[in-house]
Chain A
Amino acid sequence: MLEDSIKKVGYAAEYLALTAAILALWFFLDVHGDLNPVIMPSPSKVADTLGSLIGKGALWGDLLISVGRVLKGYLIAASLGIVLGILIGLSKHLERFTNLLVQLIKPIPPIAWIPLVILWFGIGESGKIFLIFLGGFFTILINVIDGIRQADPKLIEVSASMETPLLKHIFLMVIPSAAPSIFTGLRTGLSSCWMCVVAAELVSSSTGLGYLIMNARQFGRTDVVLIGMLTIGIIGKIMDSLLKVAEKSVIRWN
């Protein structure tokens, strides 16, 4: 028992060590006066600014708006990605039919879409959500297709040998077997969506964490830039952890 808890403490230390070391380096440089506040503000300055931003409710508002945008784009990307991925994964014809287009669009970074998105959607919300959707969709789609393709042919044969009806075969055999891949797609897709929210908020916006960062840059407020960046990092990590929990509760058999 004791050994177990010692081990756990060791693992926790390992988990935190690298991040803690970088923070320590930051404090150390600050104490030695090596930090130029425009390039890298001191930890205390960042903490003060964080306090006042939270106090004014400014950070909270931008955060909620960005989370809302990410969730909207992500939910559309996830639902379309899963449904289309399953259909394409099940049908060789559909895969041949869609493959070239998917392969052509996939490598285009969402930022490159910005001019077109402004022309198509204007500068409203829908354009931003479309960009976030693009960021997550292809990652999810391709993971789902792969997952379904990689189903064990031996298990497929078992299902076929029992005269299993098609829908039962899809829901009880194909989808569960692809579940780990689907979750990988959902998790990488979510982080892609977070990457796109900043790009999306570059498209003339006056709200959101991306706006907060770009606006602060113009005023040389590196401390606010850092806070915006760290907030995205932390929220992204929390959402990923939530997905991990969901994955564990769905994939109980492993």
Chain B
Amino acid sequence: MKITEIQSAKASEARQNDSYISVKNLSKYFERKGESLHVLDNISFQVKKGETVCIVGASGCGKSTLLRAIAGLDANHDGIVTVDGADVTNPAKERGMVFQEHRLFPWLTVEQNIGYALNGVSKEERRRLVHEHVKLVGLRGFEKVYPRQLSGGMAQRAGIARALVNNPSVLLLDEPFGALDTFTKISMQKELKNIQKQSHTTMILVTHDIDEAVFLADRIFVLSARPGKIKRIVPVTLPEPRDRNSYEFLEIRKTIYDEFFAEGQDLEVPKGKRKKPRISVG
């Protein structure tokens, strides 16, 4: 191979890595009772290999729909999604998915749930991988426990372990900590960060929690209300470990906050919903 060829191969690999996940002109309509609902409007972006991207938006802006399109769970859309150069039309184990609800199978124990994701591996390999991932998410001692007996945070850890056990190149998380209390949520965010450091997985995380996005993301995509469009991309270059109360953190937080609540436009209570103040006469 000539040097120029090597160089061009390297360049193309770099390009490939820069656009490891690529979404081009993605639009999505839902048909409901003959009416067409425009959910996503011409979305295009690229995600680098190993990058963590958070998609932030109000509820109903189509952010989960976008994630499902990348996962291949919903291929019924306009536009093209590619991961590592290949078109995404079906779900694949190279793209692990974590949902808002843990979605563990109630009839399988923690280790069986994690092992369920593995297909075509030997018994020993399965045992090794399951054990390794149980350890990774800090669930040692709970291998034989059924999901019913787990707390919300522990169940979600098991869900993350299941999504990671195939060593996916991409981890897609749909409001994974949305149902957890603040304390559990913050410790889970830290752990997700550690996991990402160990596994170098490319991550896309959908959330409506601005703090979560600033804490986790390399870049934050702000999605507008329906139809969802990328309104703004905010790079987060804060040093690790990130301090949630540092000035820089709060500054980025405010930038994103202002995207949603600019000049109080959304803070006004709609007239119909305004409650009359009750005055009690003593």
Interface residues in chain A, defined as those with a beta carbon under 8 Å from any beta carbon in chain B? 154-155, 157-165, 168, 172-173, 176-177, 179, 251-254
Give B79-131 interface residues, CB cut-off 8 Å to A.
91-93, 95, 97, 99, 101, 103, 105-108, 116-117, 119
A158 surroundings in chain B (CB, below 8 A): 97, 99, 103, 105
Chain A proximity of B97: nearest CB distance (Å): 5
The number of residue pairs between A and B whose CB atoms lie closer than 8 Å in the complex comes to: 54
CB distance B119 to A154 under 8 Å?
no
- Name the residue of chain A whose CB is nearest to the CB of B71: A161
Q: Which of B105, B117, B148, B166 contacts A155 (CB 8 A)?
A: B105
Q: What distance in Å separates the Cβ of A207 from its nearest Cβ neighbour in chain B?
A: 43
- CB contact under 8 A between A253 and B107, given known A160-B91, A162-B117, A164-B116: yes
B146 at the interface (CB under 8 A from A): yes
Interface status of B73 (Cβ within 8 A of chain A): yes
CB distance A154 to B103 under 8 Å? yes
| Also in contact, A253 and B148, with CB within 8 A (given A154-B99, A155-B103, A162-B166) | yes
State which size class the interface on B falls in.
20 to 34
Closest to B159 in A: A158
Once the chains are docked, how many angstroms separate the CA of A176 from the CA of B146?
14
Cβ-closest chain A residue relative to B107: A176
Q: How far is the CB of B160 from chain A (nearest CB, A)?
A: 13
The residue of chain A having its C-beta at the shortest distance from the C-beta of B112 within the complex is A172
Sample of 8 further A-B pairs with CB below 8 A, known A160-B91, A161-B71, A165-B119: A155-B103, A161-B95, A162-B91, A162-B93, A162-B116, A162-B119, A163-B92, A163-B119
For chain B, what secondary structure do more than half of its interface residues adopt (helix, strand, loop), or is it mixed?
loop
Give a binary string over B60-77; 1 marks a CB under 8 Å from any A CB, 0 the rest. 000000000001110000
Is B73's CB under 8 angstroms from A172's CB?
Answer: no
CB-defined A-B contacts under 8 Å, sample of 18? A155-B105, A158-B105, A161-B72, A161-B91, A161-B95, A162-B91, A162-B93, A162-B166, A163-B92, A164-B116, A168-B119, A176-B107, A176-B108, A252-B146, A253-B106, A253-B146, A253-B147, A254-B106
Q: How far is the CA of A253 from the CA of B108 in the complex (A)?
A: 7
What CA separation (Å) do A164 and B119 show in the bound complex?
7
A163 in contact with B105 (CB, 8 Å): no
Residue of A whose beta carbon sits closest to that of B115: A172
